[in-house]
Amino acid sequence: MNADPVAPSFSFEIFERIKPDEYFRRFIEENVRPDGRSLHAFRPTSIRQGAISTANGSAMVRIGGTTVICGIKAEVAEPRIDRPKDGYLVPNVELAPICSANFRPGPPSEQAQINAETINHVVETCQILDLSELCIEEGKAVWTLYADIVCINYDGNILDASLLALICALKDLSLPKATVLPSSIVQADSSEKTRPLQLRRLPVSSTFCVFSNPKVTLSDPNDSEESLSKKIVSIILDTEGTILYVHKSGGSVCDPEMMKDCFTKARARASMLKELIERVIV
């Protein structure tokens, strides 16, 4: 930061705390972000699969600071009457007070509910997987997958991380062979494990943060950037690039140019993650 007559030489932390948007604008003008990333860069992403042995399928995903763990527990239930062959997939997002100071103990906050609903909506409507593969005996017993996504460290952009964690956990899922006994009790043989689920598509989410005064969109915003602007655009594509879900929140308008720009970045992100997910499964 060159010596600026306006800002005398007190330390940058105080400057950031007193005038955060001014501090942020100075960075954007230099085409760099406070944490050193370029405007379009995504934070380093790492995936670790099968971490939890007590879960039927699990995955841990880190995008920069944001750390999320998805664990899937399988139980048996009666199918719905109108869809006797279909099992259930129940995703939930937990933003517990452990992951950030601004979450309170108690029932899930609005943000957690929005994320859970978005993921549930995408999984249900975009034919990600065929629930009939979870059938044990038609009309009698089906598998119910409780996919619980627990956030360990919240540093912005929770939607990308939780969707990625869910997908990797589903790929890691292994269920015991189950049979329905005449006494209608379901018996499982955990020595014989099967991988029933074939994912038809791999949905990948990319989130952008839109700023009005220095007209710019930042990809993969972290916690401080998220708090500076409420205008978030989330685009969920599958790895082949077909659009599954687009969500734009916040008060300001977003001209078509910016939206196109976001889509191209989203496609690039999707293909990059495609290899990462494949490499993990091997």
Nearer to another protein, 58 or 217 (CB): 58
Q: What minimum distance in Å lies between the beta carbon of 191 and another protein? A: 8
Q: What minimum distance in Å lies between the beta carbon of 25 and another protein? A: 24
Q: What minimum distance in Å lies between the beta carbon of 69 and another protein? A: 6
- 97, 202, 244 from 238: Cα distances, Å: 32, 5, 7
Q: What minimum distance in Å lies between the beta carbon of 77 and another protein? A: 4
Nearer to another protein, 7 or 52 (CB): 52
Q: What minimum distance in Å lies between the beta carbon of 177 and another protein? A: 9
Residue 70 C-alpha from the chain's centroid: 10
Nearer to another protein, 184 or 212 (CB): 184
CA distance 195 to 197: 6
Nearer to another protein, 25 or 49 (CB): 49
Nearer to another protein, 185 or 253 (CB): 185
Amino acid at 133: E
Nearer to another protein, 186 or 258 (CB): 186
Q: What minimum distance in Å lies between the beta carbon of 217 and another protein? A: 24
Q: Give the binding site for another protein (CB under 8 A).
A: 51-55, 58, 65, 67, 69, 71-73, 75-78, 80, 88, 90-92, 94, 96-101, 105, 107-108, 113, 116-117, 120, 144, 146, 148, 150, 152-155, 176, 178, 185-190, 223
Q: What minimum distance in Å lies between the beta carbon of 53 and another protein? A: 5
Nearer to another protein, 100 or 216 (CB): 100
CA atoms within 13 A on the CB side of 110: 0
